[in-house]
Chains A and B, each alone.
Chain A
Amino acid sequence: MADSEMNISTQLEETGSGEPRIRTEELLINMGPQHPSTHGVLRVMARLDGEKVVDAWGDIGYLHRCFEKIAEKRPLPAVIPYTDRTDYLAALSMELTYVLAVEKLLNIEVPERAVYIRFITNELQRIASHLLWFGAFCLDLGAVTGFLYAFRDREKILDVYESLCGARMLYNYFRIGGVRNDLYQGFRDTVLRLMDDLEKRLVEFDNLITSNKIFETRTVGVGVLTAEEAIAWGASGPVLRASGIPYDIRKADPYLLYDRYDFNVPVGTNGDVYDRYRVRMAEIAESIKLVRHGLEDLPRGGDIMADVPRRLSPSGDTYSRIESPRGEVGCYLVCDGTDVAYRVKWRSPCFVHLQLLGTLSRGSLIADMVANIGSLDIVMGEVDR
């Protein structure tokens, strides 16, 4: 029989000791690029030995739009809407990274009120993004209820954004030197009420999922990432912190107002899927605290835009990085004195995290690979740019 015809056969064969054993062959399977559990157009290849994953790797690029080339062709302010389209679930984080880079090159001092607005909206974004992750992750594990609950609450945050800037996902709200428009009447009360609500919801989520036996079985000890591996592979954000490294750019390298307010950096111990879940849920609670602080100290009036020259012509290069819900987002911006960027390079956390797929999945069950991908919080728009 030809070798090629044997790929699905399992046969008995003689071993050296004379005892027959079952001879198995590795199977190469393909997941995606259109697959409900891959969070976008991600293709995952896995080599299986029975149900065990021998190796797994991702194939990306299905959503590539060469955003960095577009950014080299448009005037600096006109790039902001494109940054939204990279990480469409935390668009404000991407906008913020970009405007911070341009402001650093132009030495623009952003008015206090605009900084507060950025601070509050950005933390709201983190809550919305983590809620969506929570819902999608529950769905990955087969728990549909969590998905419905999470989307119900995320919807309310999106409503706030809709009232604020007219868009629910792709905001185009930050400007070089400030924000596009001021807060609307009643923003403060709406958001404060929402935060009170969310705090109760967190307890609800906790009761629903955290100590759920099935959930624990699926996540505890699955996809373990040690601290050394996490650092070597460039993991950041909740993935890094779940492995026990208390590193958060908001603490280590404060931007906006993070040096003014006290907040905890939740850290995991085992670096497994369960810890990544716990870290993200704890971060929602910290973000609620930060939003409250921000609303409390929000200046009553004042400018929301700095005096920005009509024609921007920065020169030199800079690197700005922020802590997005998914990890460290970086923007390396090179400008040559014209109003068009010479080079824009994004450091996107999901792109880096996808490299971990093999490390996390090797030796685990194929079903756990879905949990692994889910726990990394992948947004393909950001991976492919």
Chain B
Amino acid sequence: MRDETSDYLTQSVLAPDLGKKGTGDMAYNEKESHGQSENMNDSGNGVHETPQPTPTAADQPAETQPERPKAEPSQREHAVSPDAPDEVKTTIAALVEAFPSLKPFHKEDDWTEVVVPAALLKDVARFVRDDERLKLNFLSSLSGVDYRDAGLQVVYHLISIPAGRPKLIMKVNAEGGRDNAHVPSVVDIWPTANWHEREAWDLLGIRFDGHPNLKRILLREDWIGHPLRKDYVDSRPPRERQYKETWAPPSDRGVRHDES
């Protein structure tokens, strides 16, 4: 059961085409291609730059920009569509002005998204917090994501309070490979990142350079491994085996089908 699930997931992540066979996916593909053609029309008017065809940004070093496992539709459009909310346009303008190498884009609703190289993170973070136009003083969430071979990623959701906008998503790909993944800490910029970063270290094994107290927070200190990693293997004895050894269920109904 366990292997089946993980294989299924592996296939679809590493080779996105494999997962696109169900009817639900067909519908999604249609929508996606529709959105893309709309965007092409926009750029045909000469108002915007041509969207980049592939998600790999050529201007960033390969190790800070590992190829994402799947190309999101929004990742391809770096141009601002005319119907994007004003805050999104302001955010994109401010970011590009200060950091010409960044490629922010309109994500959804009024969220702006930008992929930031780990080396630039501290500068960008300080800029978006202090800039008069942005004032992103509230770190709503800090999430780590394990993209298998593509590496680990940290996602920052930022909001300006009390207005509630603009809103910015910063994605930072961890440097140093899976065994030594690390990202600069932003605790000195948003103190609330403290426990979030400890959680990301605890569950995903991302090191945050400059964190004052990077210890496990949810798990025991002697825990082995980082459970939210996709390749995590539980080192404890499997529950099912213990269960079978002590008592044999009368029928299939009694067997637990969940994994360890």
| Interface band, chain A | 35 or more
Q: Are A355 and B69 in contact (CB under 8 A)?
A: no
Of all chain B residues, the one with the shortest Cβ separation from A359 is B191
Q: Interface readout for A21-60 with B: 1 if CB under 8 Å, 0 if not?
A: 0000000000000000000000000000000000000001
Q: Is B228 within 8 A of A69, CB to CB?
A: yes
Task: Assess whether A318 is in contact with B108, with CB atoms less than 8 Å apart.
Answer: yes
A345–B8 CA distance with the chains assembled, in angstroms: 21
Binds A, one of B15-23, B46-54, B95-103, B236-244: B15-23
Residues of A within 8 A of B140 (CB): 234, 319, 321, 328, 330, 347
Q: How many residues of B contact A (CB 8 A)?
A: 56
The stretch of B58-66, B76-84, B162-170 that contacts the partner chain? B162-170
| Contact between chains at A316 and B72 (CB < 8 Å) | yes
Nearest opposing residue in chain B for A228, CB measure: B137
- The residue on B at minimum CB distance from A348 is B141
Query: Taking chain A's interface residues, is the majority helix, strand, or loop, or is none over half, making it mixed?
Result: mixed
Contact of A232 (CB < 8 Å), options: B28, B72, B74, B191? B191
Inter-subunit contact A64/B192 (CB<8 Å): no
Residue pair A314, B9 in contact (C-beta under 8 Å): no
CA of A347 to CA of B143 in the docked complex: distance in angstroms?
A: 9
Once the chains are docked, how many angstroms separate the CA of A317 from the CA of B145? 11
Contacts known (A233-B192, A246-B162, A316-B73); A332 close to B143, Cβ less than 8 A: yes
The residue on A at minimum CB distance from B189 is A232
Query: Is B259 interfacial (CB-CB < 8 Å)?
Result: yes
Which A residues are in CB contact (< 8 Å) with B162?
245-247, 252
Q: Nearest Cβ distance between residue B220 and chain A, in whole angstroms?
A: 8
A336: interface (CB < 8 Å): yes
A120-128, A161-169, A305-313: which one contacts chain B?
A: A305-313
Q: Is the CB of A332 within 8 A of B157?
A: yes
Chain A CB within 8 A of B212 CB: no
Chain A contacts with B in 315-344, Cβ cutoff 8 A = 315-319, 321, 328, 330, 332, 334, 336-338, 340, 342-343
Query: What distance in Å separates the Cβ of A194 from its nearest Cβ neighbour in chain B?
Result: 32
- Cross-chain contact B217 with A66 (CB below 8 angstroms): no
Chain A min CB distance to B107 (Å): 9
Chain B residue numbers with a CB within 8 Å of A340 are 5, 8-9
- Residues facing A in B115-141 (CB within 8 A) are 137-141
**CB within 8 Å of A: which of B143-172?**
143-146, 155, 157, 161-165, 169
* Contact, CB under 8 Å: A315 / B70: yes
Report yes or no: A355 in contact with B192, Cβ–Cβ below 8 A. yes
A352 to B197, CA, bound (A): 12
B72 touches A336 (CB 8 A): no
Listed by A's residue number, 20 A-B pairs whose Cβ atoms lie within 8 Å are A61-B216, A61-B218, A66-B218, A68-B228, A69-B227, A232-B137, A233-B191, A309-B23, A315-B72, A316-B72, A317-B155, A319-B157, A332-B141, A342-B9, A345-B144, A347-B140, A347-B143, A347-B157, A354-B195, A355-B192
